[in-house]
Amino acid sequence: MKSSRISVKNFHADDSFVGRVQKLVREEVIPYQYQVLNDALPGVEKSHAIENIRLAAKKLRVEDIGAEEFYGFIFQDSDVAKWIEAAAYALAAEPNPELEKTVDDVIALYGSSQHENGYVNSYFTIQAPEKKWTNMREAHELYCAGHMMEAAVAYYEVTGKRELLDIMSKNADCIFEEFMHHNTAAYPGHPEVELALMRLWRATGNEKYKALAKHFIDERGQEPNYFWKIEEPNRGWNVWSGSAEQDSDYTQSTLPVREQKDAVGHSVRAAYLYTGMADVARETEDADLLSACRTLWNSITKRRMYVTGGIGSTNQGEAFTVDYDLPNDPVYAETCASIALMFFAKQLLENEHRGEYADVMERAFYNTVLAGMQLDGKRFFYVNPLEVIPGVSGKAVTHRHDLPVRPQWYACACCPPNVARVVSSLGAYAYSENETAFFIDLYAGGTVVTEKGLTLTCRTEFPHYGDVRYTVSGNAETTLAFRIPAWSENTKLTVNGEELALSDITCDGYAYITRAWQDGDNVMLTLDMTARVLYASPKVAADSGKVCVQRGALVYCAEEADNGEILPLFVREDAVPEALGFEPETLGGIVPVEIDGYKAEDNGMLYSARKPKLTEKKLRLIPYYTWANRGENQMRVWLPVK
């Protein structure tokens, strides 16, 4: 039976791990990013995103803007949209009249830049009004519109205010007219609007938006290929000089979506597209489309995903390459790509509750997504390598994208506000519900309200510890379904102190408990947090002869600050990792892991016939999401074995 995610308003985090990260986003990240969007922080990469909208509004009113021009990438509006969405979720967690007024002012400004027919985009209004809808492959008009639609729905759901929802409904009507009546063969080069239109349809009930999402999905990859045989001869302009090689795989348009077997091309575009496909499949009961989603999911998670939940292994097109090509140091693994993978996983969960979807969603969030933001919320990674050597990383021509420290901002700044909106809305990913069951998909401390009238209070220090206790308030006969993570080899589940036989109640990774729940009932889930050595498939050349360590949901890495130089280090072949005690003052609070290993002597020669001398050494490992918070450091996730 299909399910739906809960509203962000139904979950309130406590002061455990998720609550602390959400508080950081509310108190530090959102104000910081607003200053950046307004170019108010000296020495930080200029954004100009809000000023672009202001200039568009002035030009639309036929006011003189002098010599001023649009600044930044063509998709700069989307940064503002993601910031609004993050702010909306922050307001759901905690009222903030000052923040709400700031958002209202930004929305009013955005509305003043909207054309009479509903079109709204600062780049084309300022810079190229005659070229609207003429470069679907690269111009990102629908991408920007999609992000603002998501922001509109979020702000409406949290505050009840319709201004941005009405703006984007008018914009969606404009897009519907253009692409359902005039430019019917076209679809976006960068998918995103598909999933956004589905959200807008749910918020407004306007069936046109669902039809338009389905139309874009159905048209993609049809012959003749729109980008190459229809658009290309008439395009004659390039709005983004940073575009990667422009082949049909890059835009996921080589084949119609129902015929695609492998995840290809730009990884963010791909996962956004697959999310929209899964949503349309759910709502239209399209079995073939859902089957294609499952096939693409398997392509990613069985053959093209990093142990950290990163996807997109090359900087050439920020793309997937081929099966098992997962290099650790020139990796790309964009933060936005793991966020998009979370979206895809959650949408598949809403089609069919299978633990593997939530397992990957969890892996992506607690490793790559969180690694994309510094612990103080003021610096961000776009690229998430699994190995870094300062002096090579960030400098060698093959590794310039793999930075050893997080920048404060980017010219192309899609990732920082994306992290903010996902962290702030995690409750909507942690829980879902259908007519018969309430699902716990991720473990997050706090209080959640179900449609059946139950309130569940969760107490946990996950991901550092594996005890998760739920206390029930209210009375109802229903089913609670608890995900049993694949990494938890020995899991214990009790209800009011009585242990249940998991083998009797578990299906597809979820333990289903059906009963007449009473006020005060409690469920205790004890997850196995044993630190374990992981081995990659022998088909992954980059990890041959290497291991990594995972404890619970967290992948660990070795960093130079703890171990000295990382390159001479080896893990002892039979070593068993040992979790140490919780260290509240280290990297925001972590449980480090130790494992026996060796350090190889450096004889100073580039090549030598003499076997290096090995010295026994304890290796100290930290959660991957905390790396690069202590200056430039060598770092490795996968360590060679001796």
Q: 3-state SS string over 342-384?
A: HHHHHHHHHHCCCHHHHHHHHHHHHHHHHHCECCCCCCECCCC
C-alpha distances in angstroms, 564 versus 297, 555, 556? Answer: 39, 20, 17
Whether the CB-CB separation of 409 and 380 falls below 8 Å is answered with: yes
Average pLDDT, consecutive stretches of 10 residues, N- to C-terminus, the chain (642 residues) = 88 96 98 97 95 97 91 97 98 97 98 98 96 93 98 98 98 98 95 98 98 98 86 50 61 97 98 98 98 98 98 96 97 97 98 97 98 97 96 91 93 95 97 96 97 96 98 97 98 98 97 98 98 98 98 98 97 97 97 98 93 96 98 97 96
Q: Cα(479)–Cα(512) distance, rounded to whole angstroms? A: 6
CA-based nearest residue to 547, from 636, 439, 632, 440:
636
Whether the CB-CB separation of 484 and 56 falls below 8 Å is answered with: no
CA-based nearest residue to 333, from 37, 49, 623, 624:
624
Strand partners, 640: 546
Taken in order of first residue, the domains within the chain and their CATH numbers are 21-233 (no CATH), 252-408 (1.50.10.20), 431-526 (2.60.40), 531-640 (no CATH)
Strand partners, 622: 557
Whether the CB-CB separation of 126 and 61 falls below 8 Å is answered with: no
C-alpha distances in angstroms, 386 versus 21, 479, 555? Answer: 23, 40, 10
**Could you give the dihedral angle defined by the CA atoms of residues 296, 302, 306 and 309, in that order, rounded to the nearest 10 degrees?**
60
Q: Cα(54)–Cα(253) distance, rounded to whole angstroms? A: 35
8-state DSSP, 624: G
| Residues identified as active-site | 318, 414
Phi then psi dihedrals of residue 377, to 5 deg:
75, 15
| DSSP helix/strand/coil, 86 | helix
Whether the CB-CB separation of 626 and 556 falls below 8 Å is answered with: no
Q: How far apart are the first and last CA of the chain?
A: 49
Strand partners, 623: 556
Q: Cα(248)–Cα(254) distance, rounded to whole angstroms? A: 5
CA-based nearest residue to 384, from 306, 472, 279:
306
Whether the CB-CB separation of 325 and 317 falls below 8 Å is answered with: no
8-state DSSP, 68: -
Whether the CB-CB separation of 570 and 639 falls below 8 Å is answered with: yes
Whether the CB-CB separation of 377 and 25 falls below 8 Å is answered with: yes
List, as one string, the DSSP characters of 254-318.
SS-GGG--S--SBHHHHHHHHHHHHHHHHHHT-HHHHHHHHHHHHHHHHHSB-TTS-B--BTTTT
Which residue type occupies 299?
A: S
pTM, rounded to two decimals? 0.97
pLDDT of residue 76: 97
Q: Cα(486)–Cα(552) distance, rounded to whole angstroms? A: 10
What string of H, E and C letters represents the secondary structure of 437-477?
EEEECCCCCEEEECCCCCEEEEEECCCCCCEEEEEEECCEE
pLDDT of residue 634: 97
Burial 176-198 (b: 16+ CB within 10 A, else e): bebbeeebeebbbbbbbbbbbbb
pLDDT of residue 1: 74
**Could you give the dihedral angle defined by the CA atoms of residues 71, 75, 80 and 85, in that order, rounded to the nearest 10 degrees?**
-170
pLDDT of residue 3: 83
pLDDT of residue 364: 98
pLDDT of residue 238: 47
List, as one string, the DSSP characters of 130-143.
GGTTS-TTTS-HHH
Q: Cα(85)–Cα(82) distance, rounded to whole angstroms? A: 5
- Dihedral over Cα of 424, 429, 430, 433: its sign: positive
